[in-house]
Amino acid sequence: MDEFSIIQQYFNVVPQRRDDVVFGIGDDAASVRVPSDKELLISTDTLVSNVHFLPEWDAYDIACKAVLVNVSDIAAMAATPCWATLALTLPNVNEDWLASFARGIHDSLAQYEIDLIGGDTTCGPLSMTLTLLGVAPVGKSIRRNGARPGDVILVTGQLGAASLAVSLLKAHNVPKDDKILLMDKLLHPNPRVDFSALLQRFATSAIDISDGLSADLSHICSASRVGATLARDAIPLHPLLPIYLKDKAVDMALTGGDDYELCFTLPPHYLGEFLAIAEQQGLVCYTIGMIDKAPGLRLTYPDGQCVTYEPKGYSHF
């Protein structure tokens, strides 16, 4: 099977859903229409075999993950994902693998009404790069650099399950139900596009938690030239963390990656209104701390003790 048959058989198979696609797969470039009141957001993430996933995982799951981590980046900008391109590098042609993989790509793109408009197919060590293009009203996308001293810091969900799943990959004594639940968190993150409209309206900065809360919040702090203090007890832990990790649970929630929840900041006078609207919309989020002038990250304990926390998270090099 050559490159062109792979594209035709597995990727150029879904009828175009969006009427803003002028043309998609088949030309040297795709063309889309961006309305004049919208700005275009572009994000790329690569998944490499044995780094981001194990080659023995189900190809369907690997494909979903490649889409979902990119959707999360667009969600972190408070934007709406619209179009995707896929650069796929395969060591060989395994048609069963390709069929599952393509199904995972098409299903997860369909879930967010994203059209696959192009890509590249090459031979080499297994990896995939998805580029996702999204839109937000002009001037309304949210960056990392807008946090101000006094802003409150929130996260959109419980943390640590995905990294707990990684740490238990080789463990044999984990009950089956826990393993299934944790692997689902690792393989099928839930990118928080549901927060986009609220973030556009209220947030001063946002980031998705891909490398761990402490590392990702530090990116907000550096970009905004501020620091942050978190209430240790307010950090929402996935309920399995304390069971498996006891007093190390908070540390994993602070340093573990792959959760793909959002961390964002709000001016304090908006907090009440924000939480009220979120609740009306059935969106849960947690207030975990405050931005301050002094650089660095600090943790406060219930007894009032405040300690410096060295941010740790995943880094490739």
Which residues, at least 6 apart from 304, have a Cβ–Cβ distance to it below 8 Å? none
Lookup: tokens for 288: 């975990």
The nearer residue to ligand ADP, 7 or 230, going by C-beta atoms, is 7
Q: Please give the Cα distance from 234 to 110 (Å, whole number).
A: 35
The nearer residue to ligand ADP, 27 or 233, going by C-beta atoms, is 27
The nearer residue to ligand ADP, 119 or 227, going by C-beta atoms, is 119
Lookup: tokens for 293: 């002038």
> What does each C-alpha distance from 80 to 110, 126, 129 come to in angstroms?
14, 29, 19
Partner that binds at residue 26, options Mg ion, ligand ADP, none, CB closer than 5 to 8 Å by kind: ligand ADP
Partner that binds at residue 273, options ligand ADP, Mg ion, none, CB closer than 5 to 8 Å by kind: none
Burial of 293 (0-12, 13-18, 19+ CB in 10 A): exposed
Interface ranges with ligand ADP (CB under 6 A): 7, 11, 25-28, 86, 88, 116, 118-121
Partner that binds at residue 205, options Mg ion, ligand ADP, none, CB closer than 5 to 8 Å by kind: none
The nearer residue to ligand ADP, 25 or 198, going by C-beta atoms, is 25
Minimum CB separation of residue 109 from ligand ADP in Å reads: 11
Partner that binds at residue 253, options Mg ion, ligand ADP, none, CB closer than 5 to 8 Å by kind: none
Q: Which of residues 97-136 bind Mg ion (CB under 5 A)?
A: 120
Q: Please give the Cα distance from 26 to 214 (Å, whole number).
A: 43
Single out the residue of 201, 195, 221 nearest to residue 281, CA to CA. Answer: 195
Lookup: tokens for 158: 């419980």
The nearer residue to ligand ADP, 53 or 264, going by C-beta atoms, is 53
Q: Are strands 262-266 and 205-208 parallel, antiparallel or unpaired?
A: antiparallel
Contact letters for Mg ion, residues 63-102 (x by CB under 5 A): ----------------------------------------
Q: Find residue 75's DSSP bridge partners.
A: none
Q: Which backbone phi and psi does 149 adopt, to 5 degrees?
A: -50, 135
Minimum CB separation of residue 96 from Mg ion in Å reads: 24
Partner that binds at residue 119, options Mg ion, ligand ADP, none, CB closer than 5 to 8 Å by kind: ligand ADP
The nearer residue to ligand ADP, 25 or 162, going by C-beta atoms, is 25
Minimum CB separation of residue 34 from Mg ion in Å reads: 23
Q: Which backbone phi and psi does 58 adopt, to 5 degrees?
A: -60, 130
Q: With H, G, I as helix, E, B as strand and everything else as coil, classify residue 129.
A: strand
Sites of contact with Mg ion (CB under 5 A):
120
